[in-house]
Amino acid sequence: MSESLETRTPSRLLAVWRQYSSPLVPVFAVFTALVVGALMIGLTGGDWLTAYIGLWEGSFGSWRGIGNTVVRSTPYIICGLAVALGFKGGLFNIGAEGQLYAGAVLTVIVATSLKLPAIIHVPLALAAGAVGGALWGGIAGFLKARTGAHEVITTIMLNYVALRLTEWLIKSKTPYLLGDPEDTTGARTRFIEDSARLPGFQIGDTTRLHMGILIGIALAFAVWWLLYKTTIGFELRTAGANPSAARYAGISVPSTIVLTMALSGGLAGIAGAGEVLGVRGALSADLLAGLGFDAIAVALLARSNPLGIIASGILWGGLLTGASLMQVRAGLSIDVIKIVQALIIMFVAADQIVRFIYRIPKRGPGEETSIAKSWGG
Amino acid sequence: MTTSGAQGRQVVLEARGITKRFPGVVANNNVSLRLHKGEVLALLGENGAGKSTLMNILYGLYHQDEGEILVNGAPIRASSPHESIERGIGMVHQHFQLVPVMTVAENVMLGNELMRGAIFLDRRRAARQIGEISRQYGLEVEPGAMIADLPVGAQQRVEIIKALYRNADILILDEPTAVLTPQEADDLVRIMRTLVDQGKSIIFITHKLREVLEIADRIIVLRGGKVVGEALPAESSESSLAAMMVGRDVLLRVDKAEAHPGEAVLEVRGLRVRDDRGLPAVAGVDLTVRAGEILGIAGVQGNGQTELVAAITGLRAKEAGAVRVSGQDVSLSSPRQISELGVAHIPEDRQREGLITSYELTDNSVLELYYRDPFAHGIIRDEAEIDAHCAQLVEEFDVRTPSTHVPASSLSGGNQQKLIVAREFSQPLKLLIAAQPTRGIDVGSIEFIHNQIVKKRDEGVAVLVVSAELDEVLALSDRIAVMYHGQIVATVHNGELTREELGLLMAGADVHK
């Protein structure tokens, strides 16, 4: 009797594990990446414990760290939503980077050239960012809908166009377009009007905690609502999940593609606007560099779940924020954090590795056979 | 135990107490069977009865949780198809495993190449061996022909040769007649006879009752993962086998009264449509379907039926011609505009078009109705209404599911199809277009869906049924149109032509009465 009990308990635990572990894959991916990162620090002669304690204190372990993390995470959350929305519509928007800049440029124009009360100026400048990003994303959507040009190619190309255009707008001196004649380096635009600044307050000497995070969280809920509670979201997801069935259902797939890219670009544009209005107060060509690509990672880590992106965006921002203190404490290169981030993405993307390590099954008999094939079982 | 004609003969393959579990289902539950030398054993069962799982275990694609397999009396652990082939077990899958851009000889050799020196393929020797096999068993093929140029029946012969080339003594054929014309199916029966006469043994899987009685020496019926009976063709009838398969009596003939056709609802005139490769697929089709009648289109798959249906429903551009629904020209209308005229469409491929398999049943139950009142108010979806609608469909159409909130992929084919039919019938209808409405589903579901279609006809709906199964067209239609190479080659009242004559028309022959 006791024997059967003993053999039973673990198998029941295992059954529970099999049933509920699937959503935890990203968590295990992060954990595994941290373990492998620690091994790497150890192997290169570093002290991983000191490093990780520094990482923790710098990001989440102090009020100042938390403030910095929140500010740093905001654009990753909003831009992550942009990429995730694209994924839900079956589109791989690699162009968030370009859409960020396109949005930021329109935002700078509105924020520097108009004089309005803050209550109007801030929303208008944010809306300008959304419009800029939406137009830039919409181009790629239109090209795909009309000609079938793959969005991965067109958005990558449009990234270069947006970045160079932004540089030209900033650096042109005859005449000055967006550049600031008072800035001798010529690396940034004029500063925005105070009335366009995102409300916030100074924490410490260098960081200003602004309301962008509230916008980000609100947008996460808005995207979730749009995707799952409206007919527009249904069309977008259906076109993404199965274009043939979407056509059968009477959905215009080309219009849905344009709309998806415009919405995705619009979100990215808001992320760019937030950095201009909340953090820097001006636009420079390096302000948003790499953000659009990291956003892909943030979206993947949350498996494109809009609410999950709040968490993955904060994790991403936290890792970057804590990296500097880790660097000081453990004498490590900041690149270690980049490696850990890369490992996280690798483990999320190759989730079969994580599933294999932690014995997390795929769901459904159909998926089971695919695992059997890839593991030679 | 039923006595068997093959009794006393050598047992070449035996399964003892095979049990295989998948999460949530027991696919095979203590299944035992014996295959004798020189015997055709039919494995009959509905979709989801566990036939394919059992065959995949015998072939080594899956491994059983319990039980053992014996080949020629010796227990084996078939853990890969490769080992099964070495033990003389060959399998012909329902979807052929051939490389279309390679020749017959190259495909047969693939994975088992004859070499000349270290790097050159010995095509000539391979062709000679293939020639010998094909003469010995009456399997006509041209070793140098490209697979892509061969008709389906010939491709299937290549698959069989592939197995024989690897010295298979036991052949497993998975739904071998599903893709064949009636004439090709007759050829296959002849080939199977030749094979067993020369000492090969065959297991074939099917859910078609007619051919089981024609071909098999012995029949094993599976239901719900268990062997529920064994029968000899001489002592069985289609209805006794169907009852065994489904577990209750099944009405094989559709019970329908005479049609009372009304005014023309669907009129197609001079329709021309190109396929995905830009080739003419529908080459000038005229047809009319009246209210209260069922027009069945018979034809071997790939003769333009798919494109015809897509053009009528607005899913594919028309090159020329006109389509009118209730007198209104819809030649240039979108799928949604056509649907809103009261046109329902049961698509031929339920997983590619009819459902989003990752969506829950609720979302699938409003797939093309999602934007209409009461399922949405403006852009905001009304989930309570959708849930209630779905629950009602599931109830009325007896869709077997633990809940309406599971992905459609978790349903069996028959239940997926019932959900689609329920959805299509849930709006006010004038015209129903049903493409392959019962492909690959169980007898019980077929009966149910057929009766529902006839019920719609009796309510005055015009029905266009397109099916590659001649039996289905014969069972449902009031009038039959035969489609061949993009054209309607004959339109007759049901009963004017025999099954054989229709089969010949489907194969492109001239039939003069």
Residue B468 has what pLDDT?
Answer: 83
Nearest Cα residue to B170 out of B131, B135, B199, B132: B199
Based on the fold, state whether residues B102 and B229 are members of the same structural domain.
Answer: yes
Provide the phi-psi class of B455: left if phi over 0, else alpha when psi is between -120 and 50, else beta: alpha
- Inter-chain contact B368–A244, Cβ cutoff 8 Å? no
Residue with tokens 């820097």: A280
pLDDT band at A330 (very low <50, low <70, confident <90, very high): confident
Residue B1 has what pLDDT?
Answer: 38
Judged on CB neighbours under 10 Å (0-12, 13-18, 19+), B487 is middle
Across the interface, which of A244, A249, A364 has its CB nearest the CB of B368?
A249
Establish if B1 belongs to a structural domain. Answer: no
- Inter-chain contact B23–A368, Cβ cutoff 8 Å? yes
- Inter-chain contact B356–A364, Cβ cutoff 8 Å? no
Nearest Cα residue to A323 out of A310, A340, A311, A301: A340
Based on the fold, state whether residues B331 and B373 are members of the same structural domain.
Answer: no
Based on the fold, state whether residues B119 and B68 are members of the same structural domain.
Answer: yes
Asked whether A137 and A151 are in contact (CB, 8 A), the reply is no
- Inter-chain contact A230–B380, Cβ cutoff 8 Å? yes
- Inter-chain contact B356–A250, Cβ cutoff 8 Å? no
Average pLDDT over residues A187-193: 92
Amino acid present at A181: P
Asked whether A154 and A127 are in contact (CB, 8 A), the reply is no
- Asked if A16 has any chain B CB less than 8 Å from its own CB, the reply is no
- Inter-chain contact B347–A368, Cβ cutoff 8 Å? no
pLDDT band at A57 (very low <50, low <70, confident <90, very high): very high
B75 φ/ψ angles, rounded to the nearest 5 degrees:
-65, 140
3-state secondary structure of B29: strand
Structure-block tokens of residue A337: 């954090």
- Asked if B239 has any chain A CB less than 8 Å from its own CB, the reply is no
- Asked if A368 has any chain B CB less than 8 Å from its own CB, the reply is yes
- Inter-chain contact A248–B345, Cβ cutoff 8 Å? yes
Half-sphere exposure of B79 (CA within 13 A, CB side): 3
| H helices, E strands: number in chain B | 16, 24
Establish if B64 belongs to a structural domain. Answer: yes
Cα of A52 to nearest chain B Cα, Å = 40
- CATH number where B441 lies: 3.40.50.300
Based on the fold, state whether residues B271 and B240 are members of the same structural domain.
Answer: no
Range of the domain at B374: 349-427
Based on the fold, state whether residues B423 and B435 are members of the same structural domain.
Answer: no
B353, B377, B424, best to mutate vs chain A, most A CBs in 10 Å = B353
- Inter-chain contact A230–B379, Cβ cutoff 8 Å? yes
- Inter-chain contact A247–B410, Cβ cutoff 8 Å? no
Residue B78 has what pLDDT?
Answer: 58
Average pLDDT over residues A168-187: 86
Strand partners, B25: B22
Establish if B2 belongs to a structural domain. Answer: no
- CA-CA distance, B69 to B13, in Å (whole number)? 7
- Inter-chain contact B381–A361, Cβ cutoff 8 Å? no
Establish if B455 belongs to a structural domain. Answer: yes
A237, A242, A256, A360, best to mutate vs chain B, most B CBs in 10 Å = A242
Residue with tokens 């990446």: A33
Q: Give per-residue pLDDT as tens, A270-317.
A: 999 999 999 999 999 999 999 999 999 999 889 899 999 999 999 999
- Inter-chain contact A231–B315, Cβ cutoff 8 Å? no
Nearest Cα residue to B265 out of B129, B410, B30, B462: B462
Establish if B6 belongs to a structural domain. Answer: no
Establish if B5 belongs to a structural domain. Answer: no
B441 φ/ψ angles, rounded to the nearest 5 degrees:
-120, 170
Q: Which of B385, B402, B427 is the last residue of a domain?
A: B427
Based on the fold, state whether residues B146 and B263 are members of the same structural domain.
Answer: no
Average pLDDT, chain A: 87
- Inter-chain contact A366–B356, Cβ cutoff 8 Å? no
- Inter-chain contact A245–B334, Cβ cutoff 8 Å? no
DSSP class of B339: H
Establish if B3 belongs to a structural domain. Answer: no
Amino acid present at A335: D
Based on the fold, state whether residues B311 and B196 are members of the same structural domain.
Answer: no
- Asked if A248 has any chain B CB less than 8 Å from its own CB, the reply is yes
- Asked if B120 has any chain A CB less than 8 Å from its own CB, the reply is no
Q: What is the DSSP track for B372-408?
A: STTTEETTEE-HHHHHHHHHHHHHHTT---S-TTSBG
Residue B112 has what pLDDT?
Answer: 74
Tell me the pLDDT of chain B (513 aa) as tens digits: 344 444 568 899 999 999 988 776 788 999 999 999 999 999 988 777 888 888 888 888 888 889 998 988 888 875 777 888 888 899 988 778 888 888 898 898 887 777 777 777 788 888 888 888 888 888 888 888 888 888 878 888 999 999 899 889 999 998 888 777 777 888 888 999 999 999 999 998 887 788 888 889 999 999 888 999 899 999 988 888 888 887 777 666 788 888 899 999 999 999 999 988 788 999 999 999 999 999 999 988 788 999 999 999 999 999 999 999 999 999 999 999 999 999 999 999 888 899 999 999 999 999 999 999 999 999 999 999 999 999 999 999 989 888 999 999 888 788 899 999 999 999 999 999 999 998 877 778 888 999 999 999 999 999 999 998 888 999 999 999 999 989 999 999 999 998 888 988 887 777 654
Q: Which residues contact A358 (CB under 8 A, 6 or more apart)?
A: A21, A28
Based on the fold, state whether residues B276 and B223 are members of the same structural domain.
Answer: no
| H helices, E strands: number in chain A | 16, 2
Residue B7 has what pLDDT?
Answer: 55
- CA-CA distance, B389 to A231, in Å (whole number)? 17
Count how many domains chain B has. Answer: 3
Count A/B contacts: CB-CB distance under 8 Å: 70
Based on the fold, state whether residues B165 and B202 are members of the same structural domain.
Answer: yes
More confident: B268 or A177: B268
Q: Which of A45-59, A243-257, B219-233 tops mean pLDDT?
A: A243-257
Establish if B4 belongs to a structural domain. Answer: no
- Asked if A356 has any chain B CB less than 8 Å from its own CB, the reply is no
Q: Give per-residue pLDDT as tens, A114-134.
A: 999 999 999 999 999 999 999
User: What does the angle CA A117 – CA A120 – CA A126 come to, to the nearest 5 degrees?
Assistant: 125
Across the interface, which of A234, A242, A363 has its CB nearest the CB of B381?
A234
Cα of B347 to nearest chain A Cα, Å = 8
Asked whether B127 and B143 are in contact (CB, 8 A), the reply is yes
Based on the fold, state whether residues B374 and B327 are members of the same structural domain.
Answer: no
Based on the fold, state whether residues B443 and B393 are members of the same structural domain.
Answer: no
A11, A227, A231, A237, best to mutate vs chain B, most B CBs in 10 Å = A231
Which DSSP helix (H) or strand (E) runs through B500? helix B499-506
A18, A234, A363, A371, best to mutate vs chain B, most B CBs in 10 Å = A234
Q: Which residues of B touch A232 (CB under 8 A)?
A: 379
**C-alpha distances in Å from residue B290, one per residue of B13, B238, B327, B457:** 55, 33, 12, 10
Residue A306 has what pLDDT?
Answer: 96
Based on the fold, state whether residues B74 and B194 are members of the same structural domain.
Answer: yes
